Amino acid sequence: MGLKLQVLLGRLLMVDQQDQQKQLLNNWLNRLLLLDMLLPLLLALLLALLLMLGIL
């Protein structure tokens, strides 16, 4: 009985660790996608700011 319980707990812990790794990976992918979307916008704002400063 005790051994079965240990094996079961071990499997649950392994699954939990895999889930955490997947979640971390997903978080990084989401951040990269967000950066990919925001980068052109930031560059456009920077360019606009430089143009305004150049004109002023």
Per residue in 7-56, pLDDT (tens digit) is 888 888 888 888 888 999 999 999 998 888 899 999 999 999 999 998 76
Structural tokens at position 31: 């951040």
pLDDT at 12: 82
Tell me how far apart the alpha carbons of residues 56 and 49 are, in angstroms, rounded to a whole number: 10
pLDDT at 56: 64
The enclosing H or E element of 40 equals: helix 2-55
pLDDT at 46: 94
Q: What letter would DSSP give residue 42? A: H
pTM over 0.75: no
